[in-house]
Structure 1
Amino acid sequence: MVGDPGEDEIKGSRVLESLLAALARWPDVGRQPRVGIERWNTFTAHEVKAYHDVGISAIQAAAGWRSVSDQVRELGLLGFEPAVPTLIGLWEECPVQPVAVAAAHALFAIGTAEAREVLRRGIHDQDHLGRFMALKVMFSDDGTAWDNAGHLFSGECLATAAGLTAAAEALALLSPRSFSRSGPEWYSDELRDLVSQDHRWLDLCVALRDHEVLGRSARQVLRYADPAVTGPALDAAGARRAAQATTPAARPLRPGDLVARYQDGDHRGVWRDLGAVAHLDERWRAEAEQVAALTMERVRRNAASLTAALRARGWPVSAEQALPGPTADVEDRLRQLEQITGSAVPPAPAAFWRIVGTIDLVPRDTWEAPFPPGVPEQLTVADPLEIIDLGTGWSSVEQWQRGSAKLHPEIAGPLAIIIAADYLHKADISGGAPYSVWLPHAGADPLVREEEHGLTFTDYLRSAFAGKGFLRLDRQDEWVAHGVTRDQLAELTGWLDSVEYEHLDF
């Protein structure tokens, strides 16, 4: 219930006066301007830590910050417009996060043009709340949601990391925010029905359903939109896909040409040429499969040599764990994957599973036991190499089948078959999504997904062997920022230098 305007004005003045007095007693809290995604992505690990440390120190120094947050929220509930300049200052520079959060919500509640414009500018903030509040303004501005937020999906916006992040979060507002026993729940009825009410959002989500970054968000919107609306649009999109499914003409290829070049030592050149072919026709696939087999034979020899060298220096994995060999059912699994996805498994991972089977250098036996003396324990978070066999990763196939059984084929999405735990889980730290490859993939060498380097499967293996079994040796600045000393890094480097193995290029 809205109070008497005169009473609200008086109360707002009192609350603002009290707030300003409280802020005046925070001389040592300092300021922390908001940071955009593009700038944030240039920060070193030390700069990231320093930024977070400012917020930690501020909340420790800010006496009575809970009371200040309450006063900020009250100004929003009162709709007290004279507080807007103060609230803007808190939102844009206050390092005490709960106070800045309260200021953002208060600005939205007051809703003056100035307040909304300030929030709208946060669309490319590094902080999620900044982006959320900007989108909240855009989707509640006068005019249509498309007129206010459609620009986020322009080619110019989607060409940047910040733009992709904003677009993904805009799409997320059109799908359920949570699920309860009564079913999915949206942020608002207007957002729930937007795809049904405005064909431009429907066309956008259909067009983005296969996008590398935005596809998952777009499919989630389509999944929960009215099927009477999405069904015909997806049927039409599927028909267009089928009509365009003819294999693009690749450059002429003489049988045996790539194999001969590979055997002559042009290993990377051959894989570059294979990587340039998005859709393998019958001739290219036959050649790619032979090259992949030759490659994975060399990978197997590298893995055996490296495992022996690591174990000789005390790395705590057994030979049986590290290289158990291919599983007996690998051919059956590969055939099942082809039937499930409607496409042959890409030659690179298929050859790995046939010839190598598994590589597992993760020291899981040390999770509940001391680490071996003289072996740098920091290497547990350096992402030791792991590629699991198809049988071990088959739960991801079964999960995909269950999840896609009732979905329109055009929004089922790729089958993300797990190939390894992420680097934090490998160190027995709660982490992120596992590494995977997406199927179907019409080329020879799919990307390893969820892994930060963005490498193809073959390049991922190359990187691991170049790092003597570790993929995050390029992140040592993070370790130093979180307490690893230079002496410890020197010890780690010396230990790695002592690991010598016969490396075969592949």
Structure 2
Amino acid sequence: MIDIGESLGSLRQMRRNGTLLRRYLTGEFDQVWREIRAYPRIDGELRDEVMEVADATMRRVAQNADLIASRLQTVGWQAHSSSYQDLRTPPRRGDEAVFARIVEISGAPIPPTLLAFWRAVGGINWVWDYNSENPPPDLGFDLPSEEHDALCIFAPSVLTDLFDEWIYQKASIGPDAEHQLQIDLAPDYLHKANISGGSPYCILVPSFGADPLFSDERHGLPFLDYLRLAFRWAGFPGLDQHAARSDVQDFVVRFGKDLIPF
């Protein structure tokens, strides 16, 4: 028997709010996203509106990413690109085919913040290339690389290797069984330093809200808030464990100058 109250609630959730993008663009960044996250499921017209906000958000992230990537490039920072990407990998034409495949295998839309990130930013990789013959340039603080936890979010093209594994997982548990697939988006802080470590940072799908948890990362934040944290520390969120150090504070001021809120 259909629960009428539940059905009406679902319909309300699918309707456009009508004010979210305007309010976001006038600076209500935190408030708008708190309201969006309050919806347990993003469907229909509401998803269209949330995607508008997510796209606007990630365009600002892209602007910040370019600022920091330019500063890293100026000092000679090299991305570990053998299996990831450059300092920033712009979106590519073939990405839409990757999105369609993820939707097909997972059976649900890609969460708005992740989809908007891929469409506006592409990929970010500020993990130092530990295979380089050169030592990393001096960023102004003396900490081992496992303390950096440099920002890294894989571009969509990196994920195609996961598809066969996902298909095998779904086949092994049966077509009707509920099962979340793991979108691996970054190595953990130890692997980023070429040390055997733990599970990759990831997002589990299907996920029906707007901003899923960035899983297996120590802060336990939604994806958008993880990005906010990363940029608060000029792209090296591991530095939050050394917030009292003056050299860390100086680096954040220099490399985080002129970043815009999102």
Scaled by the length of structure 2, the TM-score of the pair is 0.86
Task: Find out whether 1:330 has 2:86 as its counterpart.
Answer: no
Task: Find out whether 1:321 has 2:86 as its counterpart.
Answer: yes
Q: Which one of the candidate residues 149, 166, 189 is aligned to 1:400? A: 166
Question: SS at the partner of 1:343?
Answer: coil
> 1:495 Cα shift?
3.5
Counterpart of 2:223 in structure 1 is: 457
Q: Over the residues paired in the alignment, what is the CA RMSD in angstroms?
A: 2.9
Deviations along 1:144-175, whole A, 9 cap, x unmatched? xxxxxxxxxxxxxxxxxxxxxxxxxxxxxxxx
The verdict on how the C-alpha distance between 1:388 and 1:247 changes in structure 2, with shifts beyond 3 A counting, is farther
Counterpart of 2:64 in structure 1 is: 302
Question: 2: distance between equivalents of 1:245 and 1:376?
Answer: 56
Alignment of 1:134-213 (within 5 A): none
> 1:267 Cα shift?
1.2
Alignment of 1:268-417 (within 5 A): 268-317=30-79, 321-365=86-130, 368-373=133-138, 375-376=140-141, 378=143, 380-381=145-146, 382-409=148-175, 411=177, 413-417=179-183
Alignment of 1:116-135 (within 5 A): none
CA contact (8 A) 2:16 2:46 kept: no
What percent identity do the matched residue pairs reach? 33
CA contact (8 A) 1:247 1:279 kept: no
Q: Aligned partner of 2:123: which letter?
A: T
Task: Find out whether 1:505 has 2:261 as its counterpart.
Answer: yes
CA contact (8 A) 2:14 2:43 kept: no
Deviations along 1:241-274, whole A, 9 cap, x unmatched? xxx9997354695553111111111111111111
Q: Aligned partner of 2:189: which letter?
A: Y
Question: 2: distance between equivalents of 1:337 and 1:383?
Answer: 27
CA contact (8 A) 2:203 2:214 kept: yes
Compare the two structures and name the one with the higher helix fraction. Answer: 1
Q: Aligned partner of 2:151: which letter?
A: L
Question: SS at the partner of 2:203?
Answer: strand
Alignment of 1:55-94 (within 5 A): none
Q: Aligned partner of 1:362: which letter?
A: V
Counterpart of 1:448 in structure 2 is: 214
> 1:343 Cα shift?
1.2
Counterpart of 1:469 in structure 2 is: 235
Q: Which one of the candidate residues 5, 9, 18 is aligned to 1:256? A: 18
CA contact (8 A) 2:21 2:49 kept: yes
The verdict on how the C-alpha distance between 1:501 and 1:317 changes in structure 2, with shifts beyond 3 A counting, is farther
Question: SS at the partner of 2:173?
Answer: coil
Question: 2: distance between equivalents of 1:456 and 1:362?
Answer: 21
CA contact (8 A) 1:309 1:500 kept: no
CA contact (8 A) 1:306 1:502 kept: no
Structure showing greater Rg = 1
The verdict on how the C-alpha distance between 1:366 and 1:466 changes in structure 2, with shifts beyond 3 A counting, is farther
Q: Aligned partner of 1:299: which letter?
A: V
Question: SS at the partner of 2:41?
Answer: coil
The verdict on how the C-alpha distance between 1:245 and 1:375 changes in structure 2, with shifts beyond 3 A counting, is farther
CA contact (8 A) 1:418 1:436 kept: yes
The verdict on how the C-alpha distance between 1:405 and 1:328 changes in structure 2, with shifts beyond 3 A counting, is same
The verdict on how the C-alpha distance between 1:423 and 1:247 changes in structure 2, with shifts beyond 3 A counting, is farther
> 1:404 Cα shift?
2.1
> 1:446 Cα shift?
0.8
The verdict on how the C-alpha distance between 1:443 and 1:367 changes in structure 2, with shifts beyond 3 A counting, is same
The verdict on how the C-alpha distance between 1:316 and 1:377 changes in structure 2, with shifts beyond 3 A counting, is farther
CA contact (8 A) 1:437 1:446 kept: yes
CA contact (8 A) 1:314 1:375 kept: no
The verdict on how the C-alpha distance between 1:493 and 1:311 changes in structure 2, with shifts beyond 3 A counting, is farther
Q: Aligned partner of 2:216: which letter?
A: E
Question: 1: distance between equivalents of 2:213 and 2:139?
Answer: 36
Question: SS at the partner of 1:399?
Answer: helix
Scaled by the length of structure 1, the TM-score of the pair is 0.46
Question: SS at the partner of 2:136?
Answer: coil
Deviations along 1:276-327, whole A, 9 cap, x unmatched? 1011121210111111111111110010012122333454449x81112012
The verdict on how the C-alpha distance between 1:310 and 1:369 changes in structure 2, with shifts beyond 3 A counting, is closer
Counterpart of 1:82 in structure 2 is: none
Question: SS at the partner of 1:303?
Answer: helix
The verdict on how the C-alpha distance between 1:247 and 1:410 changes in structure 2, with shifts beyond 3 A counting, is farther
> 1:399 Cα shift?
1.0
Question: 2: distance between equivalents of 1:394 and 1:377?
Answer: 37
Question: SS at the partner of 1:432?
Answer: coil
Question: 1: distance between equivalents of 2:157 and 2:14?
Answer: 37
Question: 2: distance between equivalents of 1:245 and 1:433?
Answer: 39
Aligned residues: 254
